[in-house]
Amino acid sequence: MDYIKIRFGDNFDELGSKIEKTIEDMFRSMNPVFSLSACTWKPQMDIYEIPGKIIIIAEIAGVNKENLEVEISSKAVKIYGHRTELPRVENTKYRLAEIQYGKFERILFLPAPIDTDKVTASYLNGFLQIRLAKLPPADIHKVPITEE
């Protein structure tokens, strides 16, 4: 059985400058080829809750499991890796080239704290599915107020 690499921790690597990312996204929206940094793309993802669980589904067709990593903290999930570009056909005019290649990274902040001991992930037909068990809600303790 092959496993998807999952790392646990409280802090992820730097997310980069928000201003730089905003400028890069603005220019990339005008022309996807333009990028201030290495070629990057953002895979489409869904995140939803069912009783006791949070489910994340990432559309990452063409990414080999060896080029895929998942990091988990109790508050967020970071999914990153890279998709290798397919060889270009020589002496050909491309009329459309929309498939994105290169590095990708997504950080999803979770709607509820999760139990990092109960995380599973699977990869099938280009979709990564991560299943996260929610921590039970903390007991609420009432504090009696006394007069001094």
CA 71, CA 93: separation in Å to the nearest integer? 40
What is the percent of the chain where pLDDT is above 70?
A: 72
Q: Tens digits of per-residue pLDDT, 92-142?
A: 888 888 889 999 999 999 999 999 889 999 999 999 999 999 988 776 677
Q: Tens digits of per-residue pLDDT, 71-80?
A: 998 889 999 9
Whole-structure pTM value: 0.68
Q: Can you give the residue ranges of every domain in the chain? A: 5-84+102-134
CA 23, CA 1: separation in Å to the nearest integer? 42
CATH number of 5-84+102-134: 2.60.40.790
DSSP β-ladder status, 40-41 and 102-109: parallel
Amino acid symbol at 95: R
Q: Tens digits of per-residue pLDDT, 15-73?
A: 444 555 566 566 655 555 544 445 689 999 999 999 999 999 999 999 999 999 999 98
Amino acid symbol at 35: S
